[in-house]
Amino acid sequence: MKKRTLKVFVDFDGTITLEDVGERIFRRFGCAEKTDKIIENLLSDKISSRQCWDELCNSVENANKKELDNFIDSIDVDPTFVPFVKFCGDNEIELIVLSDGFDFYIKRLFSKAGLTGLKYYSNTLNVNEDGKLTAEYPYYDSGSPTSANCKKNHIINHSSDDDCTIYIGDGNSDKDAAQYCDFIFAKNDLLKFCSKEKISFYPFKNFIDIQNKIIELMNKKNLRKRHHAQLKRKAAYLAE
């Protein structure tokens, strides 16, 4: 019998962390009122994710790198994520982090949590000598405006039809990407979106919930993949 291959794709801000680190940075080092307005425009589809980040970067007049580092150090990843990473490793489940946030804090928070060697894809944040913040988007795709880092493309590039794919997320940048996966774990805005669009999902509070459900899935003799996810992946493969 062919061994079943599970692949897990997981969002960072608000999922691996309990709060949105990117938003917190811009509220702290920029203008909280401007930050809220820009994010409101993103969530109402008035601007794209890339436009949102560019506007947020422009709203910061002077960011001290040391203060920024100290601020990031005051934040933690969800404590249940660390044993979940070990669980995936022990069970040979590939885990890839897909973030619409920035490497600047992801790398630092993973290091703080002792999570070295985790594969992740994100946008890039630079802190210039004059205290200005600038962003780069190495994985941008104009066809995916809800995420400046096109999560859908990473899912397609790192999975095949033989894999059972799992998506874990909470927000706006996950709405498109999650639909390309067979099993969705959702909370907050992603949960509301899946409920509204009648997309099947599992609600979760932390990674203990997810781990327990994945163990159930691993013990099933037959896993039924999500038909709409298969159709979306097939269309994406044909478009390449």
Domain spans, the chain: 5-239
Instruction: State the pTM of this model.
Output: 0.94
Task: Report CA-CA distances (Å) from 194 to 57, 74, 77, 134, 235.
Answer: 30, 32, 25, 33, 21
| pLDDT one digit per residue (tens) for the chain, 240 residues | 345 689 999 999 999 999 999 999 999 999 999 999 999 999 999 999 999 999 999 999 999 999 999 999 999 999 999 999 999 999 999 999 999 999 999 999 999 999 989 999 999 999 998 999 999 999 999 999 999 999 999 999 999 888 999 999 999 999 999 999 999 999 999 999 999 999 999 999 999 999 999 999 999 888 888 888 888 888 887 776
CATH 3.40.50.880: does it fit domain 5-239?
Answer: no
Provide DSSP, the chain: -PPPEEEEEE--TTTTBSS-HHHHHHHHHS-HHHHHHHHHHHHTTSS-HHHHHHHHHHT-S---HHHHHHHHHT--B-TTHHHHHHHHHHTT-EEEEEEEEEHHHHHHHHHHTT--S-EEEEEEEEE-TTS-EEEE-TT--TT-TT-SS-HHHHHHHT--TTEEEEEEE-SGGGHHHHTTSSEEEE-HHHHHHHHHHT---EE-SSHHHHHHHHHHHHH-SS----HHHHHHHHHHHHH-
Contact 67, 89 (CB under 8 A): no
Q: What pLDDT does 3 receive?
A: 56
Q: What pLDDT does 1 receive?
A: 30
Contact 121, 146 (CB under 8 A): no
